[in-house]
A and B are shown apart, each in its own frame.
Chain A
Amino acid sequence: MKKFGYTGRVYALFISILMLSCMMLSACDSNGSITMNGANVSGNGGKGCTKVGILLPDTTSSDRWESKDHPLLVQAIKAAIPDVQIDYNNAQGSSDTQFSQAQEDLARGDCILVVAPHDSVGAAPIVALAKAHNVPVIAYDRLIQSQSLNYYVSFDNVAVGQLQAQYIAAHYPQYMQGGKANTVMINGSQTDTNALLFSTGSHNVLDPLFANGSLQYASEVFTPDWNNNTALAEMEAFLTDRHNDIQIAYTANDGMANSVITALKAVKLNGKVLVTGQDATTDGIHNILTGDQGMTVYKPIAKLAQSTGDLVKVLYNGSNITTLTKNVTAGTFDGGNIPSILDTPIIVDRNNIATTVIADKFITKKDVCDGIPAGTANVC
């Protein structure tokens, strides 16, 4: 074995220290970041797509999202694309979460996104991101305020507000006290375009009544995030301000209506104030059967889901969507005209529960009648 001489040892020492120093210094490296280029997946406009992302907004504003929309959408999309892989997400009331979920879906290669936005404006970046991937976005039930949005499937939301208001217009005399029908209006979230459309629809019907004095406009609010607890506080404040002199409570959905009824029960006014609702939830139907709520709007979610499934199938096949949209569009703030499928909502009161939500198996009769006295409304 060759042994080093003096010079060799010195150079070996030099190199060793050099290497050691380099190793030490490399350990002192700054916090360099590793950039990974995300897969630039081409969604191909949804054609031939077998991976679909479903993004729903929350679990608190209404139980419909998890109990109805989620399973029905999965069922409809699986029927549309037999071998489809579905990525389901619920944003739990956060626009940021929803955006992150959309990013993850796109990273996984989802090529069609069905998005019920938590926030109509806040969800616009999802559309922009999907567009960059050539992935079509279907705004489900709630419009996304972006001219880049591809499709919109919902109900005729102005008509929803009109149905609610028409019920008030038809029934307010039964609730008048002292010749007055003081009316409060608890709208949905102002960041939800649908809530604004419901409000527009309701005002289209109620404003003439307010103007001619048939109804007395007491107060009106929009309820952030459709929060039921907020709605409860709002109704309590109205009752306090008006010394309980309220006869009509236009309430945008069943969840908030249930809160309004809770506030009314506290002052023993439940059943004496006309309360409206929407979504035909089990609680809403119960409240109708007990007389605490006058009506709800049944938006056959199965129909909405089916329309979405139909649209997904057309996209998968690369067919022409005008057979579905029939040239109906919805406008966005930035001048967009979004091809839309707008299904017709159905009013439900104690007279047609059996022929609507029960007949459609939207809610089972057992659930409808749970805790309700037999013979109520000829349903139970």
Chain B
Amino acid sequence: MAITKIASPSPRKISLTVRVSVILILAVVIPLIITVIGSELILRPTLLAQAEAQMGTDAQSHAQTIDALLIARVQDVVSIGHFLAIQKFLEGDEVYRLQALNELTLGNRLDPNYSNWALFDVHGSARLAYPILPPPRGKYMVAPDIMQKLNGANKSLISDVYFDTQTQTAFIDIYTSITTTNGTLLGFGRSTLKLNDIWTAVNNETNAAQGSYAMILDGHGVRVAYTNDDPVHLPPALFKPIAPISRELQQRIRDENLYGASNAGINVLADQDLAAQQNNLQGPATFQLTPALQKEPFQAYRATSKVVPWTYLVLRPVNTITGPANQQDLYLFLLAALVTLLAAIVGVIVGRGISQPILGAVSSLLTSSQMLKTLADHEQVMATEQMWIVESSQNGLQSVKYYSEATGIAAHRLENIGKELAQNLNKMDAQRMRQLLHEIQVAAKYIEKATTHQERSSKSLTTAIQVTNQVTGQLAANATSTTDAAAQLEEVIGRLRQIVGK
């Protein structure tokens, strides 16, 4: 039977245990990696979208609340401006002064944030006020541009923001035109509303999320409300525009003492990103920027008021928004580390469970291989011995044959000598006799020598037979060893089948 020698593969450098562990680790880590990637691609945008929605609701509800508040306050002024006593008083009927004052008092009680109600004539001169005659707004009691806008029936407007540096209070003026029933302008009614509630709402934005804050930008881009957790000092960004303002506006600010600026005007705290967004109010309501005075990116959501040209901005650090994603990533990494460790341990256990029987089988195979190799060596020795025995036996047999033939030749010679002696004994001379005797001696010696050689050959054959017996015994022993090796191989095969299946 032909035996094909199979080229044995080069042994792997990494053990099976390590490979199983690595496979298990990969099986665990790959989903984690997929999840982390998913987190980056899906969760973070989702969190941002959720935060945007939440901030949008927040900003819009605040803007709507401000709108509702201002509408109600405008209604207050407009309604009370329709009261007959006020109209009559502005017409010049002094009889109505007290009642008009009563009605201003009534108006002032409609909201605890009202600080003053006043009536002005068509030239902007104060005629009546409660509780006191209000101080002028810079150079004017009523700014000319305001009077111009109020020139007509049922007109109302809300002023820009003022700031009382004495009381540290921001306020607005709400104006309404006061006319006769036929539409003749009699003057203006004005309520002064402190922005305390609006500032409180802006300050409360810090409750929405860590690092969150809010601001209100007016139509000039000036921050008229800004989250402040300092009970003593105003926030540094307050009453500062986000972009340079025109010279005309700066002058108007000085003239009307807007933002508490007095003669100094207001300083710019530039925020280019925000200014760019504000220049495009039709753009998206939500965007990212790094606001002035901040060092990290913020997500911003803006909602515009429908009553005043204000923008309510809610800002929240992006890190805060994506915090859950970061946290999840951290947990995933920790989980990955833990699971990797577990997988490695399991891999080692499983790998050992698989490799140990194989290693045992390999060890057994090695033993069997060595046994067979030893046997092969023995067989080779025995084969050599057997060859030598056969050769010796052949030589012995040839020697025996040679000496048998030689003995036969010698015996035949002796027979011939005998015959010659018998026939010619009397005729033979002494020389011949001596010659024949010499030949008899030679033949006898030859026979003796052959016999000696035969004995020697017999001894050699005896030795060969003894060696043959020994070799036979060794062959029997080798056969037993081979059987044992075969049994071991069967056992190895059985073990391997246990591991890999049939």
Contact = CB atoms under 8 A, between A and B. Distances in A.
Interface string A106-146: 00000000000001111011000000000000000000010
B79 interface: yes
A210 interface: yes
Nearest to A218: B102
A344 B109 CA distance: 32
Nearest to B307: A334
A210 B67 CA distance: 35
A211 interface: yes
B324 A208 contact: no
A207 interface: yes
A196 B75 CA distance: 8
Nearest to B97: A211
Nearest to B155: A335
A318 interface: no
B98 A211 contact: yes
Given A145-B71, A211-B88, A220-B106, A17 B79 contact: no
Contacts of B76: 190, 196
A165 B134 CA distance: 33
Contacts of A125: 64
Contact of B95 (A121, A196, A211, A333): A211
B31 interface: yes
B72 interface: yes
B28 interface: yes
A334 B67 CA distance: 11
Given A208-B84, A331-B154, A33 B75 contact: no
Contacts of B306: 334
B121 interface: no
Given A30-B43, A33-B50, A190-B110, A217 B83 contact: no
A203 B502 CA distance: 106
A267 interface: no
B334 to A, nearest CB: 12
Residue from the set B20, B75, B339, B354 with the largest chain A CB neighbour count within 10 Å: B75
Interface in A59-95: none
A21 interface: yes
Contact of B85 (A33, A145, A203): A203
Interface in A7-40: 10, 13-15, 17-18, 21-22, 25, 28, 30, 32-33
Nearest to A221: B109
Residue from the set B71, B307, B501 with the largest chain A CB neighbour count within 10 Å: B71
Given A17-B24, A211-B99, A196 B46 contact: no
A212 interface: yes
Interface in B190-214: none
B103 interface: yes
Contacts of A243: none
A199 B82 CA distance: 10
A290 interface: no
Contacts of A371: none
Contacts of A3: 501-502
Interface residues of A, number: 45
A191 B72 contact: yes
B71 A5 contact: no
A226 to B, nearest CB: 15
B222 to A, nearest CB: 24
Interface string B45-82: 01100100000000000001001100110111011001
B154 A220 contact: no
Given A125-B64, A221-B109, A6 B99 contact: no
Residue from the set B30, B43, B93, B106 with the largest chain A CB neighbour count within 10 Å: B106
A207 B30 contact: no
Contacts of B354: 6
Given A200-B82, A211-B85, A217 B99 contact: yes
Residue from the set A5, A6, A32, A211 with the largest chain B CB neighbour count within 10 Å: A211
B180 interface: no
A168 to B, nearest CB: 14
A6 B357 CA distance: 13
B500 A6 contact: yes
Residue from the set B27, B34, B78 with the largest chain A CB neighbour count within 10 Å: B27
B267 interface: no
Contacts of B325: 30
A25 B82 contact: no
B109 A14 contact: no
A276 interface: no
Contacts of A211: 85, 88, 93, 95-96, 98-99
B35 interface: yes
Nearest to B83: A203
A204 interface: yes
A193 interface: yes
Interface string B345-376: 00000000010000000000000000000000
B83 A210 contact: no
A17 B28 contact: yes
Interface in B160-184: none
Contact of B84 (A33, A124, A203, A334): A203
B150 to A, nearest CB: 14
B72 A207 contact: no
B314 to A, nearest CB: 19
B24 A13 contact: yes
A122 B109 contact: no
B103 A203 contact: yes
A25 B23 CA distance: 19
Given A13-B24, A207-B96, A18 B102 contact: no
A337 B427 CA distance: 189
Contacts of A190: 72, 75-76, 110
Given A22-B34, A211-B96, 19 more contacts: A13-B27, A17-B24, A21-B30, A22-B31, A28-B35, A119-B68, A124-B67, A125-B64, A203-B103, A207-B83, A207-B84, A207-B99, A208-B88, A210-B85, A217-B98, A217-B99, A333-B71, A333-B74, A334-B306
29 contacts: A3-B501, A5-B500, A6-B499, A6-B500, A6-B501, A10-B20, A14-B26, A17-B27, A21-B32, A25-B35, A28-B35, A30-B43, A121-B75, A122-B68, A124-B71, A190-B76, A196-B75, A200-B83, A203-B84, A204-B84, A207-B85, A210-B102, A211-B99, A212-B95, A220-B106, A331-B154, A333-B75, A334-B71, A334-B306
Interface of A: 3-6, 10, 13-15, 17-18, 21-22, 25, 28, 30, 32-33, 119-122, 124-125, 145, 190-191, 193, 196-197, 199-200, 203-204, 207-208, 210-212, 217, 220-222, 331, 333-334
Interface of B: 20, 23-24, 26-28, 30-32, 34-35, 43, 46-47, 50, 64, 67-68, 71-72, 74-76, 78-79, 82-85, 88, 93, 95-96, 98-99, 102-103, 106, 109-110, 154, 156, 306-307, 324-325, 328, 339, 343, 354, 499-502
- The 8 A-B residue pairs whose C-beta atoms are closest, nearest first, are A17-B27, A21-B31, A196-B79, A207-B85, A207-B84, A203-B83, A210-B99, A121-B68
